[in-house]
Structure 1
C-alpha cells in the first residue's frame, strides 16, 4: 500500500537549499520510501539534489508519496511542512 497526497506548496520562498535540507532531515526520520513528484518527474524525498532538481517554488503543485511502515505519518508531516503549517528548523 502506498499513501499519496497532492498539495500546493505554500512555503514562503519555495523549496530552496535550506528548506530542502530541512525536508530531507524530516524525510530521513521515516522508515518509509518517500518520493516527491512535480511535472511527472519523481525523485527520492531523502535526496537533497533530487529535491533541488525539481525547482519547487511557492504555488507549485507537488505530490508526496510514501510506502512503508510509517507512510501515513510521513506523508502527513512532509505535506504539512511544504504547506508551511509546521516550523522549519
Structure 2
C-alpha cells in the first residue's frame, strides 16, 4: 500500500466525521513529512488549496514540490529529488 496522507477539512475516518484544522504550523509539518519521505503524496482538498499554497511558495525548495491537479480543484503534491524547471 502506498504511503499517502489524505488531507481534508472534513474526512470520514471509521464512519466518524473529523475536522482537521489547518494552521500554518500543521501545513509546515505536512510539507516536512513530504520533504523527508515520511509520506509520498499529500492530497489537498480544493477548500485548503490557497492556504497550503501560501505556505508552500515561501519554501526555499519550492521547485521540488510538484502539484498534480485533480478533478474538482483538488491537488496531489509530491516531492521531487530534482527541482522542476
**TM-score normalised to structure 1 length:** 0.32
- Higher RCO (Cα < 8 Å, 6 or more apart): 1
Structure whose alpha-carbon radius of gyration is higher: 2
Give the structure-2-normalised TM-score: 0.33
Greater strand share, structure number: 2
